[in-house]
Structure 1
């Protein structure tokens, strides 16, 4: 019935991937959204909320809520910027640094598994197409 519906098929796939990634990040007691937020900040400490939102392709308010949750868990901290007191830099805490390699390894294992199951070409091609489609939509 919905074989040709982009919305139905992408949300069905998103639910499946949510389960896979949830299992991968379960040992850290992190949701996939929290884990990807943390990984982004670990990769670029000191990024601003606007940069995080752009990196994750989410609304700035959503990025702020994600950071709030990770600050409450002691994994991220905010620091005032010298340029604008209204904006703050996001930094990983020492606790976040301790799990960085394991978090990256868990993510890498899921990616490797999906590439194995789908084939590297299909996996890489789909990611490229998804990014391309996403960049064309409002």
Structure 2
């Protein structure tokens, strides 16, 4: 019935992917959005909230809620931005650095699972096409 429906098929896929990454990040007590944002913070080491929202393709209010959770868990700190008082700089804590490799490995294992299931070429092509569609819409 919904073979040609972009909404139905992408949300169906998103629910399945959400379950996989939820399991992968469960040992860290992180939701997938928190884990992916923390990975970006760890990679950048210092970022503005607006930069994180843009990188994650989410609204600033969604970024705020995600960062609130990461701060409560002790994975990030917010510092005053000397260039713009309206924004805070986000930095990872020592606690975040301690789990960085394990967090990246957990995500990598899910990616490996899907590459094995779909085949590397199909996986890479689908991810690329989904990114392209997302940039256009």
TM-score bracket, normalised by the shorter chain, equals over 0.9
Residues in 2 aligned to 1:111 and 1:49: alpha-carbon distance in whole angstroms = 27
Residues in 1 aligned to 2:128 and 2:73: alpha-carbon distance in whole angstroms = 34
Three-state SS of the structure 1 residue aligned to 2:39 is: helix
Residues in 1 aligned to 2:78 and 2:26: alpha-carbon distance in whole angstroms = 25
1:47 corresponds in structure 2 to 47
**CA offsets, 1:35-92, max 9 Å, x none?**
0011010010111011101110111111111001111111111011111112111000
1:123 corresponds in structure 2 to 123
Q: After TM superposition, what 4+ stretches of structure 1 lie above 2 angstroms from structure 2?
A: none
Residues in 1 aligned to 2:22 and 2:69: alpha-carbon distance in whole angstroms = 17
Q: Which runs of 5+ in 2 are unaligned?
A: none
CA RMSD after TM alignment: 0.7
Correspondence 1:132 to 2:129: no
Q: How many residues align?
A: 137
Q: Which runs of 5+ in 1 are unaligned?
A: none
Residues in 2 aligned to 1:85 and 1:13: alpha-carbon distance in whole angstroms = 40
